[in-house]
């Protein structure tokens, strides 16, 4: 036949049939996968299936409707009928998402520390306030986060502030509990007892070498006449 798909099947066709025009049905399987094309034999793609599906399609609220074959689940305009965590009136429509939208009903709730009551949305179940937690941390500092339930964060970001071995400076490094403080980088102006010699030194140097400074060999101060030339230093912290 002229369609190139079907066979004539006759012998000695009449002259008017020599064109072999195909008048059979197409019968190709439609994209829906359930029905065949019942249009007259044609070239090119078949049209979309127009049959009514035997099965009913259900939306997420349970409503059923007969639809055209191949149609997707219809959009339902009814309110969502799922079971919700709260008892407030549902304001969203039926949907096929895994979870429902949050509830925006306004309610009164108390913060986790019991300090304050605020008007919030229903879905906000953990209310914080501006009150500092203040719970003691293992390092000795107090938790500076907003008041919260449960255990405080283990990592402390506050300054150490432990006194160095000389007792003159505070450690300004970030809290490093339970490790030792790093070497103190503050400086001293050290002087010998007679005052003829002075030297700038790191606090860590003084910790290791003591708080005395050898006086110069040319020093003739009276203080050296009765004692060795090793003198207690005056400690002066630089500004």
Task: Kindly state whether residue 98 falls inside one of the protein's structural domains.
Answer: no
What are the strands of the beta sheet with 198-202, ordered from one edge?
Answer: 198-202, 187-191, 234-237
Please state, in angstroms and rounded to a whole number, the distance separating the CA atoms of residues 189 and 201: 7
Considering the domain boundaries, does residue 220 fall inside one?
Answer: yes
**Amino acid 108: pLDDT:** 92
Evaluate whether residue 213 is within a structural domain. yes
In-domain check, residue 173 = no
- pLDDT for 158: 92
Q: Residue 213 belongs to what domain range?
A: 187-237
Domain count across the chain: 1
The predicted pLDDT at position 31 comes to 81
Q: Which pLDDT belongs to residue 233? A: 45
Q: What is the pLDDT of residue 161?
A: 84
Can you give the pLDDT at residue 210?
67
Could you tell me the mean pLDDT of each successive run of 10 residues in the chain, 239 residues long? Answer: 65 59 83 83 82 64 66 75 89 86 92 84 85 89 87 87 82 89 82 76 76 63 48 46
Q: Which pLDDT does position 212 carry in this prediction? A: 64
How much is the pLDDT for 202? 84
Predicted pLDDT at 122: 93
Q: Is residue 224 domain-resident?
A: yes
């Amino acid at each position: 036949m002229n369609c190139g798909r079907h066979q004539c099947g006759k012998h000695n066709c009449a002259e008017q049939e020599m064109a072999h025009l195909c008048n059979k049905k197409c019968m190709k399987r439609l994209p829906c996968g359930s029905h065949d094309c019942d249009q007259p034999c044609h070239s090119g793609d078949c049209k979309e299936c127009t049959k009514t599906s035997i099965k009913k399609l259900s939306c997420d609220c349970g409503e059923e409707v007969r639809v055209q074959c191949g149609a997707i689940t219809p959009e339902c305009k009814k309110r969502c009928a799922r079971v919700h965590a709260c008892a407030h009136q549902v304001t969203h429509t039926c949907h096929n998402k895994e979870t429902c939208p949050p509830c925006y009903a306004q309610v009164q709730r108390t913060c986790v520390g019991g300090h304050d009551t605020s008007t919030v949305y229903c879905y906000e179940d953990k209310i914080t306030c501006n009150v500092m937690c203040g719970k003691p941390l293992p390092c000795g500092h107090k938790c500076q986060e907003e008041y919260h339930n449960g255990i405080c964060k283990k990592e402390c970001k506050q300054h150490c502030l432990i006194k160095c071995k000389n007792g003159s400076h505070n450690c300004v490094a970030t809290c490093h509990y339970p490790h030792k403080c790093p070497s103190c980088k503050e400086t001293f102006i050290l002087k010998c007892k007679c005052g003829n010699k002075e030297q700038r030194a790191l606090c860590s140097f003084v910790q290791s070498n003591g708080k005395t400074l050898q006086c110069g060999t040319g020093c003739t101060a009276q203080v050296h006449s009765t004692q060795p030339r090793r003198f207690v230093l005056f400690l002066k912290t630089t500004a």
